[in-house]
């Protein structure tokens, strides 16, 4: 019987998207997200050790993205990891209007509902996380017909897809991960919006357009502060910015940074310990 090494990873704060992104840099077989931890699976004969996993976590701690962490190792029998992972992904009713459905789940839409089909694979943005839900609820309120949208750090492309389904005329989805590029394009095709969404590999500095009506970024605080000028420079006067990936304790730092650029806080939404914020750019 083949065995796998199972590493149980916890951290404070627990930000699955950030932790998973770094752990995928190792030669691992899969990651399952549970309520308060990640389960990382590696073949028994792999050279990856507990110390290698801990080294990745220390990088996050050194960058002050987490305060502390713990890694535990167990040896377990082989399973169908894809099947096990699929069990953790469900249909999510984000609101009365917006529903997210993985490709392997059935769902009968109610009148007026928008159903977004996502095949998450190794990208992030299944709709499970509080920050994704918060941004989607903001999009439901703020997207208007004809808008041009930019999603920075797009992952699965879920926010760009949602923007189009809510009425935007076009969107650019950019991420610096090649898995996200492929998965984003696939999800655009699944939702019949590939002709309206330009999925790109890169960062905000690679975006040449400066006429977006709405920009979304669901990334951790230090990155949002680092790219604030880049976001502002690509936004039309009167345009909107929706930010998340943030803990409620990040509110002051984000408000101070974006306000210093002439953006005005319109609204914030809170879900558990997570927050999303909507800003508008002043018109001159």
pLDDT in the model for residue 81: 55
pLDDT of residue 79: 61
Region at 52 (left for phi over 0; alpha for psi -120 to 50; beta for the rest): alpha
DSSP reduced 3-state for 86: helix
Cβ pair 177, 21 in contact under 8 A:
yes
How many Cβ atoms are within 10 Å of 106's Cβ, its own excluded?
6
pLDDT given for residue 118 in this prediction: 85
**Distance from C-alpha of 104 to C-alpha of 184, rounded to nearest angstrom:** 17
Class of domain 3-85: alpha beta
Query: Which carries the bigger pLDDT value, residue 3 or residue 190?
Result: 190
Per-residue pLDDT at 11: 94
Please tell me the number of Cα atoms within 13 Å of 128 on its side-chain side: 20
Decide: 124 and 109 in contact? Cβ < 8 Å: no
The pLDDT of residue 117 is above 70:
yes
DSSP state of 106: -
Three-state secondary-structure class, residue 252: helix
Per-residue pLDDT band for 50 (boundaries 50, 70, 90) equals very high
Burial of 66 by CB count in 10 Å (0-12 exposed, 13-18 middle, 19+ buried)? Answer: buried
Give 134-148 pLDDT, tens digit per residue: 999 999 999 999 999
* CATH superfamily for domain 89-281: Vaccinia Virus protein VP39 (3.40.50.150)
pLDDT band at 44 (very low <50, low <70, confident <90, very high): confident
Residue 158's CB: how many other CB atoms inside 10 A? 27
Q: How do residues 205-234 score in pLDDT, each as one tens digit?
A: 999 999 999 999 998 888 999 999 999 999
Q: Write out pLDDT tens, residues 257-281.
A: 999 999 999 999 999 889 999 999 9
Taking all residues of the chain, what is their mean pLDDT, rounded to a whole number? 89
**Residue 260 contacts residue 234 (beta carbons within 8 Å):** no
Which H or E run includes 273?
A: none
pLDDT of residue 133: 92
Asked whether 135 and 159 are in contact (CB, 8 A), the reply is yes
Tokens of 195: 């002709």
pLDDT confidence of residue 250: 92
CA–CA dist 218, 158 (Å, integer): 11
Q: What is the pLDDT of residue 163?
A: 97
Structure tokens of 122? Answer: 């190794």
pTM, entire model: 0.76
- pLDDT at residue 177, rounded to an integer: 81
**Higher-confidence residue: 78 or 245?**
245
Query: Where are the strands (E) in 158-211, listed by range?
Result: 170-175, 197-201
What was the pLDDT predicted at 234?
Answer: 97
The arithmetic mean of pLDDT across residues 46-57, rounded, is 92
Chain centre to alpha carbon of residue 59: 20
Q: Residue 152: pLDDT above 70?
A: yes
The domain locations on the chain are: 3-85, 89-281
Is a pLDDT exceeding 60 seen at residue 1?
A: no
């Amino acid at each position: 019987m083949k065995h796998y090494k199972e590493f149980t990873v916890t951290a404070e704060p627990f930000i699955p998207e950030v932790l998973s992104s770094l752990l995928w840099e190792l030669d691992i077989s899969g990651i399952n997200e549970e309520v308060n931890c990640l389960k990382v699976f590696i073949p028994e004969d792999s050279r990856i050790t507990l110390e290698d996993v801990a080294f990745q976590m220390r990088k996050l701690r050194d960058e002050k993205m987490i305060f502390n962490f713990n890694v535990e190792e167990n040896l377990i029998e082989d399973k169908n990891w894809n099947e096990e992972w699929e069990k953790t992904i469900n249909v999510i009713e984000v609101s009365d209007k917006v529903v997210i459905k993985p490709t392997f789940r059935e769902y009968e839409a109610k009148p007026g509902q928008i159903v977004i089909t996502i095949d998450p694979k190794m990208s992030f943005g299944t709709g499970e996380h509080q920050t994704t839900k918060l941004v989607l609820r903001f999009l439901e309120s703020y997207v208007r017909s004809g808008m041009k949208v930019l999603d920075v750090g797009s992952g699965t492309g879920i926010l760009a897809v949602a923007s189009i389904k809510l009425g935007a005329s076009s969107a650019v989805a950019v991420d610096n991960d090649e898995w996200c590029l492929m998965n984003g394009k696939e999800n655009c095709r699944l939702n019949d919006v590939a002709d309206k969404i330009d999925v790109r590999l890169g960062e905000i500095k690679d975006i040449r357009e400066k006429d977006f009506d709405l920009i979304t970024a669901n990334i951790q605080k230090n990155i949002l502060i680092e790219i604030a000028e880049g976001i502002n420079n690509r936004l039309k006067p009167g345009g909107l910015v929706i930010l998340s990936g943030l803990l409620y304790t990040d509110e002051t730092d984000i408000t101070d940074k974006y306000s210093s650029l002439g953006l005005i806080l319109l609204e914030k939404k809170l879900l558990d310990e997570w927050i999303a914020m909507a800003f508008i750019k002043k018109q001159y």
